[in-house]
Structure 1
């Protein structure tokens, strides 16, 4: 009887092949690897910057934050030209058709060139690099909802968030709540959620006709239908690590959460119940690299790491450098205007007072002959040191996350 069953299985496989139906590795019990490369919270930072040992970027090294991050050395890091080199190297070393490139939001603004072009410069770089999907962050509406839609069309890839509702249609914004990719027979759903308090972090005029719902409320509605369409569920989240942990605790059917908003570096996957979590810091200083191990269309393991984009390790991609030069050319004199020189590091913090806050506060008090100055959330950006240009100062003077 056992021999008869085996013969029937073999006959079934041969019949399927003869009829033209491709038998994928996931269907015959072999392990396949799908790579997801990811970034988050770029905030328009497309150029490399100089690190310091104690403080360098965004919220990372603030001693008051839960996840303290410091750089191991001084040096130049990040930028789209180094990012392009890293992405191309990984695509070339692995099966390019099995590699996805995603972003978890807060991408276009908070940089002078980004603002001068209302995000077009950054989305053009992302298009060149081959991004496939972006979860909308709270700063991705800094130029208004209509401009965000224009940027999506320029980029040629979907932007979305299942919990951001367009009141005019009653559907999720741009009707792109998720993306389903089929790779060697396995259907991978990438579901996007944005920050539910986005309307409290920017101009209300930029968010007319938009409703921002809590991600977990929407997940209860959308996950059941998505599970019928896909084998593996990836949540591309701009909710922040604390909320992502709550999501992982509540929704065990989510296989992987790729996070953003809180600027954390979670390289070794954090696992809660059945759900893995990762995040790739901020400011295009790191590229997240995830390998999904799949067998029989089910996730059996996750390997993850991050690549710090030190220019000493990654030669800047000439093609991307050329594109950046073209985008900067009309604005170069304005961008590179010299403003001042910092004789010491003017560092940035987020939850605690930093040198930058003291500097700005004292300037305001002096200018307006005031005793007290209040700062509306300028607690993150790139630390200033040495020669300061207009674009350096602008990137340092960013708003809250």
Structure 2
């Protein structure tokens, strides 16, 4: 007997729900049709389903996303970095308590207590014909962030290989839910040929028909729910052999619109706004935002960062502000609207000479109009790079707090975590630094406003 098995899969939705109703309607109809033909099917997600830049996700701290996955009848998911490092320890620990699906992540461990019950290194699915499918999952390495949040993250490829070696004699097919990115997926395919299919994510790569590496099929469906993946496998029971694996992708924008799509999106926005409609502080004046020079809002935010971290100086890009603060009562919703980014503050230790170099680099004329994508940034353009408490005088000497700096002394610069990943300031990557987790920029602003405004 040759059995045909279907796997529908999604990845890197980042709480973009524009196509969610139609894609889930399509998947449901397809699964029903396959079931009538006697062909089993499963539904998988490969992480970063949630993104706290979305007000519904923010208001429910990801529980709303889990509810959606439940309602769509997902079978197995893994977590991405947006689940792993943008929630505080307790919120992640309890995130999947109400899940009706399995969560597989082989390389995440609590530092202070036993793992939550939902964390499993793998699960085994079984079809009605007895075919056993081992599903292992792992998430990307952000060790400094996980450590600050009371988790231990281990090498994902090594964790996957250990699990595969453990289960390969117990199952007929092995799938890997990989929130590692395309480079690690390609390496894993070469290092662990016992895996049949690596369902990929994290780097938002798109393989319309998959990619074969040493008989391991790799998949990837881009980002933001633009595509749904459909993996078809044929298993020969007589030979006990997988004889076919084929990937196709469905462009969700081309699927027929389903009834009340607009109402669904509006209901999420309304629910999120209602939950976040909680007063935080009151302002006595307007704080305007500007993307190409300093503003009332940027000066206020610099005070927030400097007071919160006790740093010597501050630097951030003006494009992080998506709006200003009006006069009067400011709610959680208002603050989220202007600072939706899942970005943390970080203090970096630099010498006076290194800070002077940073100041020179900050004048890059190409950056203000840069349409920045990723790194946690959820805005439109980069904007001017603003500096506070450090500058150059007329003699080209570095001033810190109005005083001429000692070029050999170590100073503390507070900035945004996205600047530590090597793209803008390569020297930050190796410098000594402290990340302030789990607070986002909007939390720092909120805390300052409660105390001082």
TM-score, normalised relative to structure 2: 0.59
Q: What is the 5 A alignment of 1:1-400?
A: 30-46=1-17, 48=18, 79-95=19-35, 98-110=40-52, 111-141=54-84, 142-168=86-112, 174-183=118-127, 184-195=129-140, 197-200=141-144, 202=145, 204-205=147-148, 207-208=149-150, 210-296=151-237, 297-310=240-253, 313-316=255-258, 318=260, 326-332=267-273, 347-350=371-374, 356-359=380-383, 361=384, 364=386, 376-377=417-418
Q: Deviations over 1:350-390 (max 9, x none)?
A: 59x9993433x36x47x99989x976439xxxxxxxxxxxx
CA distance in 2, matches of 1:179, 1:108: 22
- Secondary structure at the residue paired with 2:124? strand
CA deviation after TM superposition for structure 1 residue 315, in Å: 1.5
- Secondary structure at the residue paired with 1:358? coil
Q: Report the CA distance shift for 1:44/1:277 in structure 2 as closer, same or farther (over 3 A).
A: same
CA distance in 1, matches of 2:13, 2:3: 31
CA contact (8 A) 1:84 1:317 kept: no
CA deviation after TM superposition for structure 1 residue 323, in Å: 6.0
Q: Report the CA distance shift for 1:298/1:204 in structure 2 as closer, same or farther (over 3 A).
A: same
CA contact (8 A) 2:12 2:223 kept: yes
CA deviation after TM superposition for structure 1 residue 42, in Å: 1.2
CA contact (8 A) 1:91 1:99 kept: yes
Q: Report the CA distance shift for 1:150/1:92 in structure 2 as closer, same or farther (over 3 A).
A: same
CA distance in 1, matches of 2:379, 2:51: 23
CA contact (8 A) 1:165 1:173 kept: no
Q: Which moved more, 1:282-291 or 1:79-88?
A: 79-88
Q: Report the CA distance shift for 1:317/1:235 in structure 2 as closer, same or farther (over 3 A).
A: farther
CA contact (8 A) 1:105 1:260 kept: yes
- Secondary structure at the residue paired with 2:204? coil
CA contact (8 A) 1:84 1:129 kept: yes
Q: Which has the larger radius of gyration?
A: 2
CA contact (8 A) 2:189 2:213 kept: yes
CA deviation after TM superposition for structure 1 residue 264, in Å: 0.4
Q: Deviations over 1:155-179 (max 9, x none)?
A: 3222231122234567798441111
CA distance in 2, matches of 1:190, 1:229: 12
Q: Which moved more, 1:130-139 or 1:218-227?
A: 218-227
CA contact (8 A) 1:42 1:106 kept: yes
Q: Report the CA distance shift for 1:177/1:145 in structure 2 as closer, same or farther (over 3 A).
A: farther
CA deviation after TM superposition for structure 1 residue 269, in Å: 2.0
CA deviation after TM superposition for structure 1 residue 189, in Å: 0.7
2:297 paired residue number: none
Unaligned runs of 5+ residues in structure 1 are 1-29, 49-78, 340-344, 379-393, 395-401
Q: Report the CA distance shift for 1:285/1:368 in structure 2 as closer, same or farther (over 3 A).
A: farther
TM-score, normalised relative to structure 1: 0.66
Q: Report the CA distance shift for 1:346/1:126 in structure 2 as closer, same or farther (over 3 A).
A: farther
CA deviation after TM superposition for structure 1 residue 127, in Å: 1.0
Q: Report the CA distance shift for 1:167/1:290 in structure 2 as closer, same or farther (over 3 A).
A: same
CA distance in 2, matches of 1:229, 1:168: 32
1:65 paired residue number: none
RMSD across aligned positions (CA): 3.5
CA contact (8 A) 2:57 2:272 kept: no
Q: Which moved more, 1:158-167 or 1:111-120?
A: 158-167
CA distance in 2, matches of 1:172, 1:216: 22
- Secondary structure at the residue paired with 1:95? helix
State the structure with bigger RCO (CA 8 A, min sep 6), 1 or 2: 1
